[in-house]
Amino acid sequence: MAEQDLYHRHLISMTDLSSSDIGQIIETAKVMKAISERDVKKTPTLRGRTVINFFTEPSTRTRTSFEIAGKRLSADVINISAAGSSLSKGESLKDMVYNLDAMKPDMLVVRSGFAGVPSMMTEWIECPVVNAGDGRHEHPSQCLLDLMTIQEKKERLEGLKVSIIGDILNSRVAKSNMIAMRKVGMSVTACGPATLLPVNIEKIADKVTSSLDEAVDGADVIMALRVQTERLERIGFPNVREYSKLFGLGLERMKKAKKEALVLHPGPINQGVEISPEVAEGPWSVILDQVTNGVAVRMAILYLLLGGGLQINE
Amino acid sequence: MNDLLIKNGRVIDPANGVDGQFDLLIEKGKISAVKKKISDGSRKIIDAKGKWVAPGLIDIHTHFREPGYEYKETIETGARSAAVGGFTSVACMANTNPVNDCGSVTEFILDKAKSALVNVHPIGAVTRGLKGEALADIGEMAQLGVAALSDDGKCIMNGSVLRAAMEYASMFGLTIMEHADDSAISQNGSLNEGEVSSDLGLTGAPAIAEDVITARDISIAEYCKAPIHFCHVSTAGCVQLIRHAKDRGVRVTAEAAPHHFSITEDACRGYNTNAKMAPPLRTDSDVTAIIEGLSDGAIDCIASDHAPHSLFEKEVEFDNAAFGIVGLETSLGLSMALVHGGHMTPAKLIEAMSYKPAGIIGIDRGTLKPGAVADVTIIDPGLEWTVDPSKFKSKGRNTPFAGRELKGKAIYTIVKGKVVSKC
């Protein structure tokens, strides 16, 4: 189908990938990870290819990760930042993308504060587009690195119980993960204040609870989400202290968790709000593995979309 | 002479209870006779066999953008778009720049309207600058002839301002047309809050934002014994509230826009900014409720909310895209689906697109009674056509209906006895 082909030229949403696509990306990422462990961390795979990182929203981790990934594969990586909306500068989004297209890039990696921007760009540019996070919509590469990390540690995905905790309404990470995790056979519990759950949460999660104890109990994987305290205090929850009391992942809570449970966090962390330092740095935490795997997953994405003519959905 | 004889058509004139095959004679810009057989004489003749001959269609909710946003639309292009769509009279909203909140702007619009193809009636603002605070120069605008009052695009959030406006406007026999939206609840949502907004990661405006204002306004209108008209009703909850209010005699009227009974929030998928409007496209059950409302009379009329925008205002992030779609040239075709689908009789549709809207804005149109001004629309109910925005007479191309196949089209639009559009 034409539509399927189009989406597989790009990486926009986890809805577009099958369980076997996800498996292939993770397997490729494992090979890529070995490159990062060598003394000379570079292969000539994408030599002569141009990757534009177009970030219109602040990002340290994701942007650095994509840049390192491109460079380790020998692509020419160009970083562009632009603040705010294209419209505010009097240029339409379409015009802006036409201009980038005229420079003949081989790939466009896009981060935007507005949902839908990477998806719209696919209509206006020849090269593959990778969504590096768009508004409250999705963050597929983050999701894939989460899955890779879980797979690495648990040696499987299917049948695992995961609890996602916090501001699910505004989290593109949670969104991508809920879609993908259910595809690969994990069961997802959504846990957060009722004010920060999307209206259709019952449809996109297997279980919904406002009790953190219930969410932690029996979970194989616990994912804490960043809470944008500056935006949500007063209306999302009364204050940070209360949030942390009800939904903060601290040592006491972790006593109820499985001993071998994994704790993930997409970063950046609000220490002491959604997660305590003891847990973030404790035995359950795989937060830094996530960051390491982020480079590997992004190398795999670049490679599969650009190198060797491989289709993700083979 | 300019006399015109329309022969053999199915004359549908709900105002006078007429629905049958008649000849209709226009002399000196007025309807002079509707009879079984009128002799040809030396008149110009239109053979309307198999066609509907209806009182000119009336759209009480359009945005003609002039003054201030002539790049989107002008009174001239908007009126031409109306003529092609079969409309002989339109009312245009006050959210121009400057806002139509005082006599001089009203005069400017009326002056431009003189040379327009169809009758253009300005609607005055309820509050100065559409700010929802101080009353606009309602009396001055009323004397010049505004058709109604509305802050459309914005809801009058302060209930005491609305109450004062209703009381004051009633002195001039003007109805307030409310854009019901509790902005504190809808929070600038760019589509309906629900499954689609969640999937797309966009802020949605829930149906309750429209429902609570509708409930509030009905209470105020009931208390003040003043009329209130609800623009573009989009939720099942509102249809129910309005139906109940009518049952107990509140002076409430309402309109529905064709897009709200033709498509749902699903049209926004793929970040289609041409499906972004306020109020937003809702769900299947809302569509069903609106169609029921139109067929049982809870909703009085159909109005397009014709809202032209330039391409560059739509080819942007969904959140930043302008609200609204053009509607004058697709309104009848989309509404005809209600007849073809058995939801409305032809007479009921014509009532909702001519007689009823005339009554709401208080103009002496919407009738084919001998002596009336000869505003007539001839409709081919079976004509199949495909929506092609590049052919629109409007400056706007922003429609979610591009490529849609419709059945039914105006083939003659006649204003004051003169053919202003034919196809």
User: For residues B305 and B313, what is the distance between their CA atoms, to the nearest angstrom?
Assistant: 17
Q: Which residues of B touch A190 (CB under 8 A)?
A: none
Residue A210, in any domain of the structure: yes
CA distance A281 to A263: 10
The answer, for B401 touching chain A at a CB cutoff of 8 Å, is: no
Total domain count, chain B? 2
- Are A201 and A295 contained in the same domain? no
Within a domain: residue A92?
yes
In a domain? residue A9: no
Nearest Cα residue to B118 out of B328, B270, B316, B312: B328
Nearest to B300 by CA among B177, B411, B409, B211: B177
Same domain for A110 and A144, yes or no, is: no
In this structure, are A251 and A301 located in the same domain? no
Is the same domain home to B288 and B418?
no
Percentage of chain B with pLDDT > 70? 100
Q: Which of A14, A56, A89, A92 to mutate to test the interface with B (most CBs of B within 10 A)?
A: A92
Q: In terms of domains, do A159 and A265 share one? A: yes
Question: Do A276 and A302 share a structural domain?
Answer: no
Tell me whether A307 touches chain B (CB under 8 Å).
no
pLDDT tens digits, one per residue of B207-247: 999 999 999 999 999 999 999 999 999 999 999 999 999 99
**CATH number of the domain that residue B400 is part of:** 2.30.40.10
* Nearest beta carbon to residue B201 from set A175, A203, A204: A175
Q: How confident is the model at residue B399 (pLDDT cuts 50, 70, 90)?
A: very high
- Nearest alpha-carbon partner for B168 in B138, B210, B189: B138
Considering only the beta carbons, identify the residue of B206, B271, B319 that sits closest to A119: B271
Q: Is residue B330 part of a domain?
A: yes
* Claim to verify: residue A233 and residue A104 sit in the same structural domain: no
Sheet holding B87-92, edge to edge: B57-62, B87-92, B119-122
Residue A237: domain span: 140-287
Asked, for residue A112, whether it belongs to a domain, the answer is yes
Residues B332 and B378 in one domain: no
Residue B222 lies in a domain: yes
Residue B366 lies in a domain: no
Is A191 among the domain residues? yes
Q: How confident is the model at residue A8 (pLDDT cuts 50, 70, 90)?
A: low
pLDDT of residue A57: 86
Q: pLDDT digits over B264-303, tens only?
A: 999 999 999 999 999 999 999 999 999 999 999 999 999 9
Same structural domain, B157 and B194? yes
Pair (B68, B43) in one structural domain: no
Domain count, chain A: 2
| Final residue in a domain of this structure, among B330, B361, B392 | B361
Alpha-carbon distance of A131 to B100, in angstroms, equals 44
State yes or no: pLDDT of A311 exceeds 50.
Answer: no
What's the CATH number where B346 sits? 3.20.20.140
Is A311 contained in some domain? no
Instruction: Tell whether B230 and B378 lie within a shared domain.
Output: no
pLDDT in tens, B100-152: 999 999 999 999 999 999 999 999 999 999 999 999 999 999 999 999 999 99
Q: Are residues A147 and A277 in the same domain?
A: yes
Domain boundary among B332, B361, B390: B361
Output the CA–CA distances (angstroms, integers) from residue A11 to A56, A68, A149, A157, A302, in the order listed.
Answer: 18, 19, 20, 21, 10
**Residues B12, B46 within the same domain:** yes
Nearest residue to A165 (alpha-carbon basis) of A254, A233, A58, A61: A254
Cross-chain Cβ contact A92/B198 below 8 Å: no
Question: What type of residue sits at position B75?
Answer: I
Give the confidence band of A195 by pLDDT, cuts at 50, 70, 90: very high
Report strand pairing: A129-134 vs A107-112: parallel
Whether A129 is covered by a domain: the verdict is yes
> Average pLDDT for residues A49-73, to the nearest whole number?
94
Query: Is residue B154 a part of any domain in this protein?
Result: yes
What average pLDDT score do residues A244-248 get?
96
Q: Is residue B257 part of a domain?
A: yes
Q: Does B407 lie in the same domain as B272? A: no
Contacts of residue B197 in chain A, CB cutoff 8 Å?
Answer: 199
Same domain for A148 and A276: yes
Nearest CA in chain A to B271: A116
* Closest-approach residue (CA) in chain B for A91: B312
A120 contact residues in B (CB cutoff 8 A): 271, 317
Q: Are B310 and B194 in a shared domain?
A: yes
Question: Domain ends where: B336, B361, B386?
Answer: B361
B367 lies in some domain:
no
ipTM score here? 0.89
Q: How confident is the model at residue A7 (pLDDT cuts 50, 70, 90)?
A: very low
Q: Which residues of B touch A139 (CB under 8 A)?
A: none
CATH of the domain at A160: 3.40.50.1370
| CA distance readout (Å), B407 to B333, B338, B347 | 6, 11, 17
Element (H, E) at A136: none
- For residue A177, being part of any structural domain is answered with yes
Is B296 tagged catalytic?
A: no
Are A83 and A210 found together in one domain? no
The minimal CB distance from B320 to the residues A87, A138, A172 is found for: A87
B21 and B101 assigned to the same domain = no
Instruction: Check whether residue A95 and residue A179 sit in a common domain.
Output: no
* Same domain flag for B130 and B246: yes
Phi, psi of B17 (to 5 degrees): 65, 25
Q: Indicate whether B201 and B282 sit together in one domain.
A: yes
Same domain, A156 and A175: yes
Q: Are residue A89 and residue A53 in the same domain, yes or no?
A: yes
pTM: 0.93
Query: Domain limits at B197?
Result: 56-361
User: Which residues are CB-contacts of A210 (< 8 A; sequence separation ≥ 6)?
Assistant: A191, A192, A193, A194
For residues A57 and A152, the model is more confident at A152
